[in-house]
Structure 1
Amino acid sequence: MLPGRRTLLRVTACLGAAAAVRMLIAEDTGGPAPAPRPAPAAGPQAAVPRLGSSGHRLEPMTGDTPPRYHTALPPVRTRPFLSMPELGEHSMVLTFDDGPDPRYTPGILKTLREHDVRAVFFLCGEMATDNRDLLREMRDDGHVVGNHTWTHPQLNKTAPALIRSEIGRTSEVIEQTLGEPPQWFRAPYGAWNRNVFEIQAEMGMEPLAWTVDSLDWTTPGTATIIRRVLDGAAPGVVVLSHDAGGDRSQSVAALRTYLPELLARGYELKVPPRRR
């Protein structure tokens, strides 16, 4: 059945109104009227609201653009890993901060190589950028290279934009040198806060703190450093030492003694596994 005259008139009027609106928009903007947007597709994604980039949430932060360093992000944690018992009941982890320093890092690498042991090195970008040969030596020996910011600031007193710069610049140097970005991050002084956890996760890193602090940065004497490490030895323990940031000759000498002693006690010195 053909539509009635009134129906045709109503349709014509609606079409005319729509055309008029598009003409008004074109006059206001000085260009052609925009085409009408298609209706959103039905499905499960259509019902999910978009989160603003400033929203706080305990899940991977993807923001409004693809992540720069990784496609699969770790969760945003509220505290760092203090130990790694999952590596085995006879395992420990040795970590060295602030390097690399050409005066001390080679001696530590030499001792680790002699005992076929792997460790984690948390690097400062300002040191790494001028000592890239040491980064490649770490990689070739099977060590894990982590991020320790660019200039070692106290991040819980630092603006988010500067936190992002400190962490991001260091990851860039590591990735440019080794071909892949770091997977682990350690905040200087152990000073994490919400901003730090979120930014490091966005850049694809997990937070690793420590269980035993050798306090070698205070230069207490080689024997004291040895005693602190051996007294603190236990399954899953993460030991904090330094290979830069001052005179680290005591740290280099101490490692030559406590490392073979740990091995003699049956400990396996391991590094965190790759996440992907």
Structure 2
Amino acid sequence: MRWFAFILSVTLTGLASLSGCMPVPPTPSPESQVAPSPQPQQAKRTPTTPGEREIAQLPTLQGGAEYWVRKPRPVSNDILQKRYPNIFALAGPSHKNQVALTFDDGPDSKFTPQVLDVLKKHNVPATFFVVGARARALPEVTRRMENENHVIGNHTYWHPNLPKESMERMDWEVRETERAIRTITGKRTTLFRAPYGELAPERVERLGDMGYSVIGWSVDSLDWRQLPTEEIINNVLSNTHPGSIILFHSGGHWTQDLSTMVEALDRIIPRLKADGIRFVTVPELLRR
């Protein structure tokens, strides 16, 4: 019996040491333990193509895919921006003909490199809000963002739905992503975007205390709905104005196909340039 207890103790110790290889978020408080959103049937199928299998191996978006969870344009963000104008931004000044392209939920190994190729082709900068676990899994793609003069922002570590989590969990998600970005790029970001764009006043205040500017958007491409290329182009061009912060995604759930977004981006950039629009990063747009 003593030998059994000894072997069990050694086994548990070994497992504990292995678990330290990957950051683990704090135990959720009772109020944050909620049932996950139901997932559509297509998410239960098995990846069939090499591209699907590669993306499916990346750390998952813990709160669920954008098209399961997110509201197209949370009205509450307009209220938050007016209440916290020095912390929360949805757009930049409108007196200059410039806009900021932003990309969420990357990096991944398929669509993020394609986005970077399009940006390089047109010689425009962008701002990428990265998921910390994915940045750690793909440091070379994250480093490419930095090397090609794009700005990297914080999009939490596991992409949870923050209103359903404790404040302690949010703190951990932000700090762990901050460490991941610093390890890969040598820099600390001061930009944060919440998964699904969902926040509450006390969380905005907390992020401000942590030294972050919270970045929303004023134009949603709706690429996360896997729309046809022409619809994405129309969504962006019909709503863009000087000072716009434009939302795209450079990654997502493995079932999402963002190829129409890449095609649309390649056509949107020259159309806006022809209108005299200049592309800048979020810090340049906001002067933060």
1:157-179 CA-to-partner distances (Å, cap 9, x unmatched) read: 21011111111111110011111
1:91-141 CA-to-partner distances (Å, cap 9, x unmatched) read: 011100000111001111111111110011000112111111111111111
For 2:141, give the aligned amino acid.
L
Aligned to 1:220: 227
Aligned to 1:83: 91
Between Structure 1 and Structure 2, which shows a larger proportion of helix residues? 2
> How far apart are residue 201 of structure 1 and its match?
2.3
1:149 maps onto 2:159 in alignment:
no
1:123 maps onto 2:133 in alignment:
no
> How far apart are residue 204 of structure 1 and its match?
2.1
> How far apart are residue 233 of structure 1 and its match?
1.6
Residue from 109, 121, 128 that aligns with 1:102: 109
> 1-side partners of 2:172 and 2:100: how far apart?
28
> 2-side partners of 1:222 and 1:95: how far apart?
18
> 1-side partners of 2:225 and 2:156: how far apart?
21
SS of 1:85's partner is coil
For 1:267, give the aligned amino acid.
I
SS of 1:239's partner is strand
SS of 1:93's partner is strand
- Percent identity between matched residues is 38
Whether the 8 Å CA contact 1:155–1:196 is kept in 2: the answer is: no
> How far apart are residue 182 of structure 1 and its match?
1.0
TM-score of the two chains, using structure 2 as the length reference: 0.66
Which structure: larger Rg?
Answer: 1
Aligned residues between the structures = 200
> How far apart are residue 265 of structure 1 and its match?
1.1
For 2:89, give the aligned amino acid.
F
Superposed, 1:1-276 pairs within 5 Å as 77=84, 80-85=88-93, 89-245=96-252, 246-273=256-283
TM-score of the two chains, using structure 1 as the length reference: 0.69
> How far apart are residue 192 of structure 1 and its match?
1.3
1:197-228 CA-to-partner distances (Å, cap 9, x unmatched) read: 23322332100100011111110111110111
- Cα RMSD, aligned residues only: 1.8
